[in-house]
């Protein structure tokens, strides 16, 4: 495959996205980026966030708050 062939392929953006429940690292604490974005979304949505979210739970909450605030569409 040449470089030109690869640039013409259309990757399925959903193909690499796993359900957070299937993440190997889902039980770990949220990343700094997740915590920061969650804080921003929570402020905008006037929502409370639990202190003990896992990485997977943070991802799901981000999706929920994005829907509430209209971000990420």
pLDDT at 1: 47
In the chain, the N- to C-terminal Cα span, in Å, equals: 34
Decide: pTM greater than 0.75. no
Within 10 angstroms of residue 66's Cβ, the number of other Cβ atoms is 16
Q: How far apart are CA 37 and CA 8, in angstroms?
A: 34
Tokens 């509430």: give the residue. Answer: 68
Map tokens 């392929």 to a residue: 9
For the record, the structure tokens of 6 come out as 């690869």
| pLDDT tens digits, 11-60 | 555 567 788 888 888 899 999 999 999 999 999 999 999 989 999 999 99
């Amino acid at each position: 495959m040449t470089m030109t062939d690869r640039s013409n392929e259309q990757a399925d953006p959903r193909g690499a996205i796993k359900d957070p429940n299937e993440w190997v690292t889902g039980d770990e604490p949220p990343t700094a980026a997740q915590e920061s974005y969650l804080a921003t979304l929570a402020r905008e949505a006037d929502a409370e966030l639990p202190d003990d979210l896992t990485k997977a739970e943070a991802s799901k909450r981000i999706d929920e708050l994005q829907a509430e605030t209209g971000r990420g569409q």
